[in-house]
Amino acid sequence: MDHFQDLFPILSCVKQGCVLALTLFGIFFSLLLLYTFHETDVCVYIRTRGDGSLFNLARLLAKAKDRMTLIKEMLFADGAALAAHSEEMLRQLIERLVHACNEFGLTISLKKTNVMAQDISNISCISIVYHTLEMVNDFTYIGSMIANNLSLDAELTTYIGKAATAMTRLTKRASSNNMLTINTKMRIYQACALSILLYCRETWTLYKPQERGIIGFPSAESLRH
């Protein structure tokens, strides 16, 4: 990893809002994380397998056809989440990240940095540069709600409420407007209501009651009346 020590001048940059900015930052940030954690074994191992029923826990206990995945950090747009089994391990990861950010000239946003713990009733303060990080049970990042109990109930309730509000606002101008065709109403419904409800659907792992809650949401058929 000696090539990380070689410095080189940056003679040009991109303007704010440039489409290349996100790509370049992603490459830069990935390099920073590689430099931060390449010499540490502090991490979380997750046992996974790709066949069978997702909620069949007996399959995860089987030693065949499963694999161990090493998790040190998880990327979220222009941020990262650090994962550790214990409070002391988390401190080690944070200390390494702070040191790397100083080396690379980046600043950690202390107001946006929180600590979340699972199955721990009490945890001592974790700080970054004398700033005590807030302990939270859930937080919202880029529209997605993450909870320490891994439940989707709060997020689903929020998005169903937002979609229902959008449907209510569409009543007079769209669903009750006889001057609009059914095709136009369908497009409005998909753009203004359905898109809100299914905003983070790629990350959802739903149970049957949660599926019924989504299916029970007013469908496009309501725009016909």
Residue 4 has pLDDT above 80, yes or no: no
pLDDT band (50, 70, 90) for residue 204: confident
Residue 68 falls inside a structural domain: yes
Indicate the average pLDDT of the chain: 77
Please tell me the distance from the alpha carbon of residue 48 to that of residue 69, in angstroms, as a whole number: 7
Is residue 204 located within the same domain as residue 122? no
pLDDT at residue 219 in the model: 55
Please tell me the distance from the alpha carbon of residue 16 to that of residue 5, in angstroms, as a whole number: 28
Is residue 113 located within the same domain as residue 185? no
pLDDT at residue 92 in the model: 87
Is residue 132 located within the same domain as residue 157? no
Is residue 129 located within the same domain as residue 166? no
- Please tell me which residue, 91 or 77, carries the higher pLDDT value: 91
pLDDT at residue 171 in the model: 77
Residue 119 falls inside a structural domain: yes
Digit-coded pLDDT (tens) for 16-70: 777 888 788 888 888 888 888 888 877 788 777 767 666 677 776 776 777 777 7
Please tell me the distance from the alpha carbon of residue 47 to that of residue 176, in angstroms, as a whole number: 52
pLDDT at residue 47 in the model: 73
Residue 93 has pLDDT above 70, yes or no: yes
Is residue 34 located within the same domain as residue 124? yes
Residue 38 falls inside a structural domain: yes
- Using the 3D structure, point to which of 88, 107, 136 is the last residue of a domain: 136
Residue 105 falls inside a structural domain: yes
- pLDDT more than 90, % of the chain: 0
pLDDT band (50, 70, 90) for residue 1: very low
pLDDT band (50, 70, 90) for residue 3: low
Number of domains in the chain: 2
Read off φ and ψ for residue 28, nearest 5 degrees: -65, -45
Residue 143 falls inside a structural domain: no
- Using the 3D structure, point to which of 110, 136, 162 is the last residue of a domain: 136
Domain that holds residue 73: 2-136
Tokens of 132: 């005590």
Residue 114 has pLDDT above 70, yes or no: yes
Residue 144 falls inside a structural domain: no
Please state the rounded mean pLDDT for residues 119-141. Answer: 78
- Using the 3D structure, point to which of 136, 168, 192 is the last residue of a domain: 136
Is residue 15 located within the same domain as residue 70? yes
